[in-house]
Structure 1
């Protein structure tokens, strides 16, 4: 073989790696973008409660509309992805995300809460497309032996986006103007109407910028050449062999689905009502100051993700999950029975121990499954995030009846369910059932 031929062959891996680098960077950025959207909701709950004078249950509909979008669109997103590929699903998802963000402008102009909820549903529908396509695509944009490392790197950008979302809300949405119910009652009708319109309009410019950035990102991805990541189709072989039926009859798998439902409900609920909890248990705390505790929670979550990954070198994942769930039960109960500073710091600390729960439950749920079962199982586990809609609303209803501190009994119960799931896996290293 000539030297020129050898040089050409040696250059091929490097050229292939270069061709994958820009698409990989663009796809990894998506984890940041949906982190921004997810945690801006925590700010919106506090803002809309003020702007529309909502009950805690009504304010919790922000998360209900959001996670309902995920639940309803997850399967259509998968079908779309199989038809138009990863890149097509990403572009379509970003377009929906951008349109939903732009809808905040007319929603604020009309001061209509229902339009805001519809806009959030559209955003969540776009994010369902992004999450369905981005996770597997990251594993394909490079060598198979480093797929896990690439996906972990991508996931690290998600809490960074979450922190950015809270900061955007804290700096550009919260006005710092806090009127008590008594002060509002003392206003004239015109003054009160102007105040509420001003608070509703505070979301317009931040979401306009987000919408334009997201749509611009969709154009960049559309114009970028992506490497061929297609794999041989299986032509529904899984369905023909009753894979989904086997999964649904598996007690261990369905326990994972239940644990994921309760975990997501706990995470979304704690973060959604943290600002409200701070303001209710330490009266007089402005929303901007209360949001600092949410930012701290997200930092703890990010640190916990790396710490948990390191601890799994020494502890079985199920054992670590059980330990963290036990700690979070204690912390959530502290928020119930010791409201105020102790309860606030307990809820912030919860985020550190929540950090490993979603990926660990996910991994244990599909552990030992064949490829077809993993694909079906992954889709069902993603749909379990509907817990974020159901249990956040349950927290709002509890808060309206018994107070925000007692609403933390809901996540405490959720962590009990996670503990039961983890204990079952930890105690039983028995063969997977089929």
Structure 2
């Protein structure tokens, strides 16, 4: 691409960032955040209405993040054969279809139908994230790839807060908690009441559909750079690598494998903590209802936003790995407090944990993508990183199972703590590796002098 002094470089990056297109791209991040945060509302709502265990209620996240896992590779193939813009348009289309499925689901009033609708939404979000995360890191100079993605990710908490507020005022109702109200009803009264409450789940998705249609139209009419590696003269006959060839190449990169595991566990922690914060508040204080307890998620996402903002400032002045190591260690200690202190201060501890989630996803994503030297594998590498989001389907289920087994939602937060402990170790090892590389580079420079 060569327009307004923006030049497409051979490695797929640009010489400078097209601001308007970058803003449009960043506006996609709150769109999947809305869907993800609404899951936290649905888990609480469905647990009471369908009389689910903590393990069963966590299947909301399994359906959601399982869709991500299954669609990431097909999404990368679409992007590889077309471009990032087509991937985004495809994602928005599936997202609209998934939201629309909530309308028949509410009338059928079955848990499985809601899970199917969430799975369809996740297919759209899988396309969006596979496209937008990699695209954001590449739509400008390579040296600012991590910063660009971190800035785009800063928009994420805005969507998260919007999702919780939509759930608070459109899904949750005034009065006693659903569990308390339904406990006084006959089975038939509880069934009818539950069906009435399910109708409230439609409203947030109705408004989301309007926004998605507007975004879809904008992406259809606005021109975007391709941000793909430029083939050298005479190389047009070179065969592009197959999926199997790419997987074989990536499996040999140790740093890539470690990044995948770190991302898997990070998304699992984030999803588990957010999934159970409202439930934790209701368990520790039975005198509050769901609408009041949802305020704690608003505070969590505000903390998440502040944490991202502060991290961006710190990363611009200090070593990113040092900042992230400190963030992860503090987050781990806070989760120990959440698990072991059986009063409402544990809920505030869970809120503070969100402060230290901030920069992790974008940093792990961009750092892991950078170790892929052969840029022909970029799209698939980005897809595999998005597939690691399946951690959000696994860790909450494990935490829910632990909660059911030990009879304590509080103690189940030790599962998230163990995951954050590994993240701390991952960034610490990255920090040591960077220090070693820097020392080696300085030694080479000294020898040259």
TM-score (normalised: structure 1): 0.87
Unaligned runs of 5+ in 2: 7-17, 439-449
Distance 1:206 1:213 in 2: 11
Matches within 5 A, 1:30-429: 30-138=28-136, 150-179=148-177, 184-226=182-224, 231-232=229-230, 237=240, 244-372=247-375, 375-402=379-406, 403-429=408-434
Query: Post-superposition shift, 1:336?
Result: 1.0
Deviation sequence 1:173-216 (CA, Å, 0-9, x none)? 11134357575344234322221111111111221221233134
Q: Root-mean-square deviation (CA), in Å?
A: 3.0
**Cα pair 1:97 1:124 within 8 Å, conserved:** yes
Q: Which moved more, 1:279-288 or 1:421-430?
A: 421-430
**Cα pair 2:303 2:352 within 8 Å, conserved:** yes
How many residue pairs get aligned? The number is 420
Query: Post-superposition shift, 1:364?
Result: 3.6
**Cα pair 1:50 1:199 within 8 Å, conserved:** no
Q: Which residue of 2 aligns with 1:5?
A: none
Unaligned runs of 5+ in 1: 1-10, 15-19
Deviation sequence 1:86-115 (CA, Å, 0-9, x none)? 222222111110111111111111111111
Query: Post-superposition shift, 1:431?
Result: 6.3
Distance 2:224 2:317 in 1: 39
Query: Post-superposition shift, 1:246?
Result: 4.4
Distance 2:266 2:4 in 1: 45
Give the direction of change, closer, same or farther, for the CA distance of 1:223–1:395 in structure 2 (3 Å limit). same
Distance 2:257 2:162 in 1: 35
Distance 1:174 1:185 in 2: 17
Give the direction of change, closer, same or farther, for the CA distance of 1:178–1:139 in structure 2 (3 Å limit). same
TM-score (normalised: structure 2): 0.85
Distance 1:145 1:355 in 2: 21
**Cα pair 2:263 2:389 within 8 Å, conserved:** yes
Q: Which moved more, 1:270-279 or 1:74-83?
A: 74-83
Give the direction of change, closer, same or farther, for the CA distance of 1:298–1:116 in structure 2 (3 Å limit). same
**Cα pair 1:247 1:377 within 8 Å, conserved:** yes
